[in-house]
Structure 1
Amino acid sequence: MAEEDAPFGFRVRTSRGRQVIALRGELDILARQQMSAPLLTLVGEAAGEVYVDLRHMSFIDCAGLSLLCALRNRCRQRRRRLTLVSDDAAFSRLLRLTGLADTFTVVGCREVTETIGAEDDWEAIA
């Protein structure tokens, strides 16, 4: 199955000393099972701040939230900061309803462009 046809995936790049992980598609139990290990490794090896770009997510459930929590915990263990990138009101509502709104730092797309660079400026694809 081509990457574009897969129901989920991610790309990774380094921008201005920050690791940017762009998730796409559906972040559900299947995605969690298949992406947890590589994402936790990437976050664990990050040298600086980590940004998880959620702009291309079409769906997220409790398993997806669990993966985001695991990434946040890994960052905290390594004394790194994790920031989520999203302008999606439904995602913000999901965080509020699950009691996770204060757990994550979430920034909008416009706020983060200068910090992590343009979306099409990818150095590496995973």
Structure 2
Amino acid sequence: MTETPAPTATSVPALLPEPCGRVYRRDGCTVVALRDEIDIATAALIAPALDDATADGSPRLVVDLSEVSFLDCSGLSLLCRARRRALDREGRFWLVCACPRILRLLRAGRLHDVFGPVATPDEVFRTAETAAPAVS
């Protein structure tokens, strides 16, 4: 079952093959919502969407792993690269993940504190830091 974006979300052009997830805009952020398994086979399909989301100056990227059941080292590499690209461009990066297996992997790789994952996308958008800047 595919969830509909929140009312404040707007769709963006398909940058990600349907089986891998979807990309949309919400409150000034690009959300890359991934699904199923992220492994060496799907990493090549996902990388262009993450690169596109971090291509502009000051990108605000939310990677949502809520529907991901498996993540291997190639998936970890994608997340590290996307985070680095966002920060190098003076942007922000948030990771949404509540899957115990993936959280254990982040801890084992000493990346849990680096990513600081939150359990739901709404947690990202409740903070003032992610609110879109006011337009004057």
Query: 1:64–1:111: structure 2 CA closer, same or farther, 3 Å change rule?
Result: same
TM-score by length of 1: 0.76
Gaps of 5+ in 1: 117-126
TM-score by length of 2: 0.71
Distance apart, 1:15 and its partner CA: 0.9
Q: Which has the higher contact order (CA 8 A, sep 6+)?
A: 1
Q: For 2:64 and 2:121, how far apart are their aligned partners in 1?
A: 12
Give the letter for the 1:103 counterpart: V
| CA deviation string 1:13-71 (max 9, x = no partner) | 11111111101111101111222123212222375521111001121000110010010
Q: Match for residue 54 of structure 2?
A: 43
The two structures, once aligned, show a CA RMSD in angstroms of 2.3
Q: 1:91 aligns with which of 97, 102, 117?
A: 102
Give the letter for the 1:17 counterpart: G
Give the letter for the 2:113 counterpart: D
Retained in 2: the 8 A contact 1:10–1:22? yes
Q: Match for residue 26 of structure 2?
A: 15
Retained in 1: the 8 A contact 2:96–2:120? yes
Give the letter for the 2:40 counterpart: I
Q: Match for residue 123 of structure 1?
A: none
What is the aligned residue count? 111
Q: Match for residue 32 of structure 1?
A: 43
Q: For 2:122 and 2:27, how far apart are their aligned partners in 1?
A: 15
Percent identity (aligned): 35
Query: 1:100–1:113: structure 2 CA closer, same or farther, 3 Å change rule?
Result: closer
